[in-house]
Amino acid sequence: MSEHRDRPPIAQRKVSRRGLLGTAAGVSAGALLASCSLLQRGEEAPKLGATADEIIKQRQLTPEDVTAALMTYVPSGKYDEYLMFSSTGHGGQVLVHGLPSMRLLKVIAVFTPEPWQGYGYGGSTNEVLEGGYFHGKPILWGDTHHPALSETNGEYDGQFLFINDKANGRIAVVDLRDFETKQIVKNPLLVNEHGGCFVTPNTEYVLEADQYSVPLGGVYAPITEYKEKYRGVLVFWKFDREKGRLVPEQSFAIETPPYWHDLADAGKGPSHGWAFWNSINTELAIPGIREGRPAMEIAASQRDMDYLHVVNWKKAEELVAAGKYEEINGFKVIRMDVAAKEGVLFLIPEPKSPHGVDVTPGGDYIVVAGKLDPHVTVYSFAKIQQAIQAGNWDTDEYGIPVLPFEQCLEAQVELGLGPLHTQFDDQGYAYTSLFLDSAVAKWALGKPYREDGWKLVEKLPVQYNIGHLAAAEGDTAKPAGRFLVAHNKWSVDRYASIGPLLPQNAQLISIAPDQPMRVLYDCPIGIGEPHYAQIIKRERIKAWEIYPEVGWNPHTQSVDPNAVLKVGDERIERRGKTVEIWGVLLRSQIRPDLIEVEQGDEVIWHLTNIERAKDATHGFALGGYNINLSLEPGETQTIRFVADIPGTFPFYCTEFCSALHLEMMGYFLVKPT
Amino acid sequence: MTASMTQAMTRTGIRQALSAAIARIGDRVPFLLAAVALAASLALPYWHMTLLAPQYPSGLRVWIFLTKLAGDVQEVNGLNHYIGMMKLEEAATFERAIAPYGVAALAGLALLAALLRRRWTVWLSILVVIFPLVFVADLQYWLWYFGHHLDPHAALSSAIKPFTPPALGTGRVGQFVVETRFDSGFYLAVLAALSTIAGIVARLRGPVQRG
């Protein structure tokens, strides 16, 4: 059983107000004494100016506030138990928070240049960003939605993180050895995507699907030819764990009718080898308000049922191996008639306009949240298989098998208004976000999880308009329980006013066993809009403290042939109109520190931080040329540019590294021609 | 005969047997031990220093072996350059170069003394006894040399007066508390020295052949 089970949370039992205050006072006083004694460096601890009781009174804290503080406070110098990776929406990045403190540990630059990390301001990170350019056009933002940690046997393994860009149909790979983005791939079939990233139980594939259908490849076709020419795709990106890269040549897609695909999840356990996407706009509505058509929100909400897509990806793999695919823009596509005929793609009706589709920890049920329906609909994977075996299905207008809803249904649980996403704990409970109710619903799964299954247990109001929610390891084969974070779209009145663009509100919620859920902490997110998030035990991640060897190229994850390994080996070479510099950085020098070129020269500048001390990062900024690198201990980067502006350019270290940091500089002189 | 007498006789018997055995090999074993200890000391650090400062919560450590330096040498060198101190590996380069042969020779002398009961082997083994003292003297010399040959152009040269870091003890340079300690290799060398003294005493008491 997971380790936290041995350590009951502080507020395990109900205690009297007086007793609680007393305990809290004792603990707080202890902490205060400890901090005072640290400050006084061994001198006798002074008497407390205010006892904890007085602080509680002064700050008007309730007993619930005090226990929440005690459950979330992580003392100075101590580590959090969990890390949460969340998307930032149109901020285009990934956030890393510690739980339960909710402290922000890092903003991982992914689709948006980020100067502090030197991301997109020279060096190999420019190449990463270029991987996501669209027909050569720089795209310097993204709309990140669904981070997916790599998995082994259905559990997070802490090695990689995948994140999608809804706006431009791209996926990025983050290596969790150095928490840096290594690859961005643009899907050549679609323009826009939502149903990613989700991984198969051993990260064989990273799942992705289009949201708004386009003709395959994103080519032009009149909107009136929507039914005939527009198509959906369900995409399986092959992941090479050794290389840490997605491999387009070994990836494939399945063509579908132009239904809009929403969220996805991969099967596991008994449903391993299968994947599930839900869909909206099976009405095949098209925009055109001025042309007299209804607005999309109305036109796409006419039918009572949309379609859950059920995909046998093991079978699809076989079809690809057998050559039963077409190449479109260099990407393998199984056509939908083949997918239908070969038993790769099935549809099951699902209540209208659903949002989340989440596979239970055991892989036995698929939970679809209604959005416009107050229920979650639970499908049994075993029943789906029986329905497929039985073979008595209809087809949709494109000839795709539609399995009978009733035959696949296990249960429907009425939760409230606007159910969106579902996560799980280790006690057999599920937690579903209710957007319209602004609440989290806790409900019991049925057998084999619980005897008292398929019913609502409790609802907790959250502030406000919850979208995704994430429980600790709550979408894996072994959820950890205890904590859940509600990612609320609106904060309205929760924080001091900072102008009309308000922060998002991430709320930490206790889901400790046998206790009512409660909000422990509000964390404002002022850097983007988190959609999905995943929460992983800290120990699962084995990040490097410094790069393994001096001269490390983080892009190739190996020693760079152009690295300078020691002081004194730096040099400058001129070949015709090219000036190549091999330099080093160390406290507190950039060597060489004087470089003179002629206007129009091509400059290739290799820079190696030869430091081996943890945290001895150096920056390298060349003002006027839009260059800023972050060189972490051991890192090598190469910048290339044409010295087209004549003049005198001081370059310097941007990361305050040492007492003589200001002196860590040099001059780059460009002689006019 | 009383029981206590029997006991006393038995005890005398054991003692006699023991001293006979010791007489046979008692002047060989200590030399042998010294040879082994010396050879083993080559693989172990003789001295180490620990630097403690607020921004290095787990400290920096440098181990001095007879043949090499280990630990955070690069980091300590990097810090030392601010006060104009030479790089650690520039110290005792000659000593490090000859150390494997020198110590092998000393171990050889101890071995010789163990094998040959001759007076000259005893005299030569005295080199093993004085070896730890030579190490300490050399270490002290280099500490003095480093502290008194600071680059006058270094960034912090005006802030640091020439000094001799202690070979054993605790000193302070800037924000660093520097703790220096002898390490396992040195203690083996001391063991070798003491063992050799024991061997010499045993040898001089016992039968020594001339030559």
- Domain ranges within chain B, ordered by starting residue: 24-205
Give the separation between CA B121 and CA B132, rounded to whole angstroms: 19
- Residue burial A153-187, b: 16+ Cβ < 10 Å; e: rest: ebbbbbbbbbbbbbbbbbbbbbbbbbbbbbbbbbb
Which of the four pLDDT bands, split at 50, 70 and 90, describes residue B207?
Answer: low
Answer whether A611 touches B (CB < 8 Å): yes
Which residues make Cβ contacts (< 8 Å) with residue B29, sequence separation at least 6?
B114, B199
The CATH class for the domain spanning B24-205 reads: mainly alpha
Give the separation between CA B203 and CA B208, rounded to whole angstroms: 7
Number of H helices, E strands in chain B: 6, 5
Residues of A in contact with B72 (CB under 8 A): 612-613
Q: What is the pLDDT of residue A585?
A: 98
Q: How far from the centroid of its chain's Cα atoms is residue A445's Cα?
A: 26
Give the separation between CA A592 and CA A596, rounded to whole angstroms: 11
Which of the four pLDDT bands, split at 50, 70 and 90, describes residue B25?
Answer: confident
Q: What is the pLDDT of residue A53?
A: 86
Answer whether A586 touches B (CB < 8 Å): yes
Q: Is the pLDDT of residue A33 over 60?
A: no
Helix (H/G/I), strand (E/B), else coil: A429: strand
Q: Is the pLDDT of residue A226 over 70?
A: yes
Share of chain B above pLDDT 70, in %: 93
Report the chain A residue with the minimal C-alpha distance to residue B81.
A587
Q: What is the pLDDT of residue B4?
A: 67
Residue A594 · residue A636 · CB < 8 Å: no
Answer whether A613 touches B (CB < 8 Å): yes
**Mean predicted confidence (pLDDT) in A630-656:** 98
Strand ranges inside A513-601, DSSP E: 518-525, 533-537, 552-553, 558-559, 571-575, 578-586, 589-591, 594-598
Residue B128 · residue B196 · CB < 8 Å: yes
Which of the four pLDDT bands, split at 50, 70 and 90, describes residue A23?
Answer: very low
**Mean predicted confidence (pLDDT) in B69-83:** 94
Report the chain A residue with the minimal C-alpha distance to residue B59.
A613
Q: Is the pLDDT of residue A538 over 50?
A: yes
ipTM above 0.85, yes or no: no
Q: How far is CA A99 from CA A12, A38, A424, A460, A489, in A?
A: 19, 26, 17, 20, 20
Give the separation between CA A144 and CA A89, rounded to whole angstroms: 5
Fold of A552-671: Immunoglobulin-like (2.60.40)
**Mean predicted confidence (pLDDT) in A148-174:** 98
Q: Is the pLDDT of residue A22 over 80?
A: no
With an 8 Å Cβ cutoff, the interface of chain B facing chain A consists of: 56, 72, 74-75, 78, 82, 155
Using DSSP bridges, classify how beta strands A331-334 and A245-256 pair: parallel, antiparallel or unpaired.
parallel
Helix (H) or strand (E) holding A128: helix A124-130
Give the separation between CA A408 and CA A406, rounded to whole angstroms: 5
Tokens of A36: 């005072």
Q: Which of A123-127, A339-343, A511-515, B153-157 has the lowest mean pLDDT?
A: B153-157
Tokens of A403: 């399995």
Q: How far is CA A625 from CA A117, A460, A546, A622, B189, in A?
A: 17, 53, 28, 6, 61
**Mean predicted confidence (pLDDT) in A521-547:** 97
**Mean predicted confidence (pLDDT) in A476-503:** 97
Residue A601 · residue A642 · CB < 8 Å: yes
Q: Is the pLDDT of residue A1 over 70?
A: no
CB neighbours of residue B6 within 10 Å: 10
Crossing angle (nearest 10°) for helices B93-115 and B119-148: 160
Helix (H/G/I), strand (E/B), else coil: A394: strand
Give the separation between CA A531 and CA A103, rounded to whole angstroms: 18
Sign of CA dihedral A511, A516, A521, A526: positive
Share of chain A above pLDDT 70, in %: 93
* pLDDT, tens digit (0-9, with 9 covering 90-100), for B116-158: 988 899 899 999 999 999 999 999 999 999 999 999 999 888 8
Give the separation between CA A108 and CA A88, rounded to whole angstroms: 10
Long-range contacts of A34-42 (CB under 8 A, 24+ apart): none
Give the separation between CA B116 and CA B209, rounded to whole angstroms: 9
Give the separation between CA A379 and CA A78, rounded to whole angstroms: 43
Give the separation between CA B104 and CA B84, rounded to whole angstroms: 36
Q: What is the pLDDT of residue B165?
A: 86
Give the separation between CA A535 and CA A511, rounded to whole angstroms: 14
Which of the four pLDDT bands, split at 50, 70 and 90, describes residue A51?
Answer: confident
Which of the four pLDDT bands, split at 50, 70 and 90, describes residue A68?
Answer: very high
Cα Rg of chain B, angstroms: 24
Q: What is the pLDDT of residue B156?
A: 86
* pLDDT, tens digit (0-9, with 9 covering 90-100), for A166-179: 999 999 999 999 99
Residues of chain A with CATH 2.130.10.10: 82-540
Q: Which of A258-267, A625-634, B115-124 has the lowest mean pLDDT?
A: B115-124
* pLDDT, tens digit (0-9, with 9 covering 90-100), for B151-192: 999 988 888 888 888 899 998 888 899 999 999 999 999 999
Nearest to A660 among B72, B74, B155 (CB): B155
Interface probe for B, chosen from A79, A658, A661, A662 (most Cβ of B below 10 Å), is A658
**Phi, psi angles (nearest 5°) of residue B124:** -65, -30
Residues of A in contact with B82 (CB under 8 A): 659-660
Contact A612/B75, CB-based, under 8 Å? yes
* pLDDT, tens digit (0-9, with 9 covering 90-100), for A423-462: 999 999 999 999 999 999 999 999 999 999 999 999 999 9
> Å from B66 to nearest chain A CA?
24
- Nearest Cα to A543, choosing from A4, A93, A161, A111? A161
Which of the four pLDDT bands, split at 50, 70 and 90, describes residue A44?
Answer: low
Residue matched to tokens 């055991």: A362
Nearest to A612 among B56, B74, B82 (CB): B74
Give the separation between CA B134 and CA B103, rounded to whole angstroms: 12
Q: How far from the centroid of its chain's Cα atoms is residue A515's Cα?
A: 29
Residues of chain A with CATH 2.60.40.420: 552-671
Q: Which of A297-311, A350-364, A454-468, B19-33 has the lowest mean pLDDT?
A: B19-33
Tokens of A25: 């006072």
The CATH class for the domain spanning A82-540 reads: mainly beta
